[in-house]
Amino acid sequence: MITYFIKVVAFQLLFLLSYDLFLKKETFFNWNRVYLIFSSLIAFVLPFIKLESFQNVVPQEYIILLPEIVLTPEKAVATIEPTWNWFLIVGIAVSSLLFIYKIVQLATLRFKGRFVKREQYTVIIIPKSTLAFSIFNYVFVGEEIEEAKLEDILSHELVHIREKHSLDLLYFELLRILCWFNPLVYIYQKRISEVHEYIADAAVVRNKDKSDYYEKLLAEVFQTQQFSFTNQFFKHSLIKKRIIMLTKQKSRQILKLKYLVLVPMLILSLVYTSCEDTTVSEVENTEANVEKMSAKVAQAVEDFNAYSESVKGVEMMTKEQYTKLGDLSKQLFESRRELAIAKGEEPEVLHANGWNYDDYVVARKKSIQENVTYDEFEKEAVSSKDLDKVPVHPNCEGKVSQNELKECLNISIQKHIMQNFDVKRAESVGLVGRQRIIIKFMIDKNGDVSNVLARAPHPALKDEAEKVINTLPKFKPGMKDGKPKSVKFAIPIVFQIEE
């Protein structure tokens, strides 16, 4: 979700910069109004649009994430609740309360005033006040405003009512609540308020003398009320800009071509969203799916922890107890993997150990519990279904189906690492506790292992990991559309060094 909002802010920034550079000073006020509303809205949609035609421009890279290898089991851990959602909810709640407070203030003013019904709108006259603003079909004016000056104010506010400017402001007010952390929403609302005033001024001076109108703007000082979702006739920060626009010569029609700047911006945005990630997720990345997977993970964690607690005091579990715990562990592993794919993040997940009961008995005697976690390369991985055939290990040449080949490949590489990796290298350099190594390598078009790169907490472990991977045998390369393809692999290794 954080990544999504970062993209939205980036797109809105791009659109706002283009508006300020190319369009803001033009007198195409209604066009500017449409641009501001459209660009603020399309920024929320663009991150979801991925065009296959753009994806094909960039060659796809095939990456297979192998299951994590645990050399020394350790205690299981529960899920870590992300704080971002709570942070977002609290901000929305505070923003909503502020909005409600403004509504209450507005309602208070409404009930204080005297109503005067007109054909298209209602005037609310506020006692002992020089207020002047409108919202929907209501115009608020102070009773201390002179009758002779009231005509221009009502003409101005009637334009806001006729053009339904309050809907624009309410839309941006809603964005301020939902995206309270995004400063660009406030800038958008400020820009749309300016455009509203320009539209209203332009409509009023069609039948009035311009100089007389802006002289009145300069001469009058009205009381203002800080309602961000109302159209205020007098706002100090806008007076100078309104007068400049009133005196500005109308922009030439050919300058409307400037709005075509939106076209290359949209194309660039679509290229970015389409090619930013060329890997294919196994689970559709939608908010509904994330919520569903989150609930599934929470239930799986609850079930696993509850049963783990029930057998915690058991010196040696029965085979039935061990089988049930294994099934719950597998369910947890699968649900957390699905959630990781859906969110595109790097969660801690539980991996089923795959031991039989005899292995458990040996491990239990040593007082070891297993916990396996996935790592950050989850988001890079693609399903092996994108290849017609995965690379074939020499031990797997008798396998036929894609699933059999993949399973055999995983088991063969895991067995090679577990047999050849020297855990004592970590002890020799003084490392203790949980250690994690990430290995990336490629099986190229010739079936050779290349581009081996390991990331480890100590150079000695890095060297050991790279040495082990470099001793893998020659493979038959992965195939796609009848052609050999280079395929990247990412393998996490976790082991525990007792203090």
pLDDT tens, 344-377? 665 544 444 445 667 666 655 643 333 333 344 4
Q: How far apart are CA 150 and CA 146, in angstroms?
A: 6
**Alpha carbon 343 to its chain's center:** 9
Query: pLDDT 10s per residue in the chain (499 long)?
Result: 778 888 899 999 999 999 999 899 898 999 999 999 999 999 999 888 877 665 555 555 555 556 556 554 443 333 334 577 788 899 999 999 999 999 999 999 989 999 999 888 999 999 988 888 889 999 999 888 887 778 888 888 899 999 999 999 999 999 999 999 999 999 999 999 999 989 988 888 887 776 677 666 655 544 445 556 665 655 556 777 877 887 788 888 888 888 888 888 888 887 777 665 444 344 344 566 777 878 887 888 788 778 777 876 676 778 888 788 778 777 877 787 777 777 766 554 444 444 566 766 665 564 333 333 334 444 444 445 577 888 999 989 888 788 888 889 889 999 999 899 988 877 776 666 778 888 888 888 899 998 888 888 777 888 899 999 999 999 998 888 888 888 888 888 887 776 5
Q: Which residues of 278-298 are buried (b: 16+ CB within 10 A; e: fewer)?
A: beebebeeeeebbeebbebbe
Strand bridging mode 138-142 / 132-135: antiparallel
| Count of other CB atoms within 10 angstroms of residue 263 | 9
Cβ–Cβ under 8 Å, residues 124 and 109: yes
Instruction: State residue 363's pLDDT score.
Output: 54
Strand bridging mode 487-497 / 62-65: parallel
Task: Using alpha carbons, list the distances in angstroms from residue 386 to 166, 263, 361, 413.
Answer: 50, 33, 40, 20
Give the count of alpha carbons within 13 A of 276, CB side only: 17
Instruction: State residue 231's pLDDT score.
Output: 59
Instruction: State residue 279's pLDDT score.
Output: 41
Q: How far apart are CA 124 and CA 115, in angstroms?
A: 5
Beta bridge partners of 493: 69, 437
Q: How far apart are CA 472 and CA 395, in angstroms?
A: 12
Q: How far apart are CA 421 and CA 494, in angstroms?
A: 12
Instruction: State residue 80's pLDDT score.
Output: 38
Q: How far apart are CA 164 and CA 157, in angstroms?
A: 11
Q: Which residues of 83-105 are buried (b: 16+ CB within 10 A; e: fewer)?
A: eeeeebeeeeeebeeebeebeee
Strand bridging mode 487-497 / 69-70: parallel
User: Domains of the chain, with CATH numbers?
Assistant: 2-57+83-272 (no CATH), 387-499 (3.30.1150)
Q: Three-state SS for 126?
A: strand
Per DSSP, which regions of 404-464 are E strands?
433-443, 449-455
Residue with tokens 């094909």: 56
Instruction: State residue 37's pLDDT score.
Output: 95
- Cα angle for residues 398, 404, 405 (degrees, 5° grid): 65
pTM value is 0.51
Instruction: State residue 184's pLDDT score.
Output: 95
pLDDT tens, 230-263? 656 555 567 778 778 877 888 888 888 888 888 8
